[in-house]
Amino acid sequence: MRTLYPPVEPYDSGLLDVGHGNQVYWEVCGDPGGKPVVMVHGGPGGGCTTDHRRQFDPEAYRIVLFDQRNCGRSRPHASDPAVSLEHNTTWHLVADMERLREHLGIGRWQVFGGSWGSALALAYAQTHSDRVSELVLRGIFTLRPLELRWFYQEGASLVFPDLWESYVAPIPEDERGDLLTAFHARLNDPDPEVRLPAARAWSVWEGSTITLRPNPKIIASHSDDDYAVAFSRIENHYFVNNGFFEEGRLLRDIDTIRHIPCVIVQGRYDMCTPARTAWDLHRAWPEAAFHLIGDAGHAYSEPGILDRLIQTTDHFARR
């Protein structure tokens, strides 16, 4: 089984001004003359970690990572309820990626995204197909209503009834018919005694369910107050707006990227972004390689998923 490459530090980093007072953090690791790849993190609102760098051979790749608007090391940070998310949409993020590519002087790059990052990777590729050398997509998510309902309204509650009770605890029973809207009101409440319990409930629900076996380290990171508020506010902002794109668009527009080499990696027991969506993408794009990992949940750190991802990046490094 392949696993993470050794730790690597950035040789360059900065804050990119993307307008409306937003600065996007970026960093570059690995070989300055290597094959360019951009790592698109999940959430939205999750931010990059040091282990994200380690999914690529640092002797073969020029590894670009960035924290999407208002999360991670980007500024301003959505943990401050006064920070507006008005200028944080899928299409702002697509434009940020393209601006970063131009800033770094990269002609084409491999786009590698998981979970929400798979949706953003597809949106970017369908907008700038001539700038994408390959796509690597994991834990496929396209923000269709059926996907959002499964994890945030009904469906996953049947698998995790105990965890679900903690998730819905901040919401009165008479508001639970529309949990996205009920959480939206509380996550944007200026009173921390209202905002923080909702943010922790939302964030810990996801952190507790993305791995096949519970991972205390992931759950602890999702429990941090600043992380939980930014993460939950941004996710909920996207979800109540259906990703800021027409339902089914990412699957509908596959013809615009059909020529791009692509690998799809999906955990069979993914409770966050169930395999149905990955299967729908596979059926729409049979030319893409499809790997359904039989003993994995959602997270990229699941051993079978990580093994397949690194086999894929190693293969594309030689392409």
Residues noted as catalytic: 115, 270, 298
Strands, DSSP E only, in the chain? 12-19, 22-30, 35-40, 61-66, 109-114, 132-138, 262-267, 289-293
Q: Which amino acid is at 260?
A: I
Q: Which amino acid is at 189?
A: D
Strands, DSSP E only, in 204-288? 262-267
As a whole number of angstroms, the distance between CA 308 and CA 292 comes to: 10
List the one residue out of 81, 61, 69, 77 whose CA is nearest residue 44: 69
List the one residue out of 257, 271, 265 whose CA is nearest residue 311: 265
> Which residues make Cβ contacts (< 8 Å) with residue 309, sequence separation at least 6?
55, 136, 138, 265, 300
Q: Are strands 12-19 and 22-30 parallel, antiparallel or unpaired?
A: antiparallel
DSSP 1: -
> Which residues make Cβ contacts (< 8 Å) with residue 191, sequence separation at least 6?
none
Token pair 């991972």 in the structure block, residue: 215
